Amino acid sequence: MFKYFKNKKFSTPLFVTLSLAALILLPVFFIIFKSILGIENEKRAQVNYSVQNDGYDISDPFITKVPQLKDLLDGPIIDGNDPSLGNENAAITIVEFSDYECAFCENQEKVIKEVKEEYGDKIRLIWKDYPINNELTPSYQAAIAGRCAAEQDEFWAYHDILFEESHNLNATTFSEIAQELNLDLSIFKKCLKDVNIKKLVDNNIKEANALDINGIPFIYVNKQEVMGEISLDELRRIIDIELVKH
């Protein structure tokens, strides 16, 4: 290469011109190369972030991202797995996420019970457990006990007494309520350890979290969301508006 530039037939002005051009273009090429390198690094960072958070490689076109529960829900799940009361074809469905240890929930229960008596077959109630997410707490254990009463078709009566005994929730209380309602005690106690019953409660908790429910009581009146205590008159007003739609 140097031999070529030293050729006598190669003019000095041309050599100077080419040298100056090279000096001018070199920074331009450097800037372009740096930009391309920066874009590639950004892409790599995005891929690494996605892999870390989603658990799959987005560079593989044959892997489908598994949708999260929260991305699928636009309201509570109504699938027959939760205790319900009333006509399945009722114009109004009230879904309540609640906890037997919650004093505000106990007050809300009284309001819900009153509108159910008032509106009759126009309303269907669906119960969702949303206890403290800890199997050792009375809150969680009461949810299990209520589900076991449901296994013997005595959920709502058991549910009412649980709220009455909300400050005294323990294994003895659960058994005493079962005896009061003439449940088969051996079946009831066996049910308290049933993993399938536990799964029903856990599914309710996951559902509430997916719906971003962060306070109870929380009810749905059809698609209308209501968080916290609501008065009888306010609940009547919401129900009446929903009835007009039907």
Q: What is the pLDDT of residues 110-154, one digit of tens each?
A: 999 999 999 999 999 999 999 999 999 999 999 999 999 999 999
Mean pLDDT, range 25-52, rounded to an integer: 45
Consecutive H or E run containing 143: helix 138-150
Is residue 98 a contact partner of residue 125, using CB atoms and an 8 Å limit?
no
pLDDT in tens, 86-95: 999 999 999 9
pLDDT value at residue 59: 46
Which residue, among 143, 135, 126, 148, has the nearest Cα to 81 in the 3D structure? 126
pLDDT value at residue 42: 44
Which residue, among 148, 142, 144, has the nearest Cα to 161 in the 3D structure? 142
Instruction: Report if pTM > 0.75.
Output: no
pLDDT value at residue 44: 36
Cα 150 to its chain centre, rounded Å, is: 24
Quick one: pLDDT band at residue 54, thresholds 50, 70, 90?
A: very low
To the question of domain 84-245 being in CATH 3.40.30.10, the answer is yes
Quick one: pLDDT band at residue 52, thresholds 50, 70, 90?
A: very low
Binning the chain into helix, strand and coil, the percentages to the nearest 5 are 55, 10, 35
| DSSP for 17-67, written as a single string | HHHHHHHHHHHHHHHHHHHHHHHHHHHHHHHHHHHHHHSS-TT-TTPPPPP
pLDDT value at residue 74: 75
Higher pLDDT pick, 109 / 74: 109
Mean pLDDT, range 1-11, rounded to an integer: 37
Mean pLDDT, range 154-169, rounded to an integer: 97
Quick one: pLDDT band at residue 69, thresholds 50, 70, 90?
A: low
How far apart are alpha carbons 83 and 226 in whole angstroms? 20
Which residue, among 127, 162, 161, has the nearest Cα to 142 in the 3D structure? 162
Residue type, 231: S
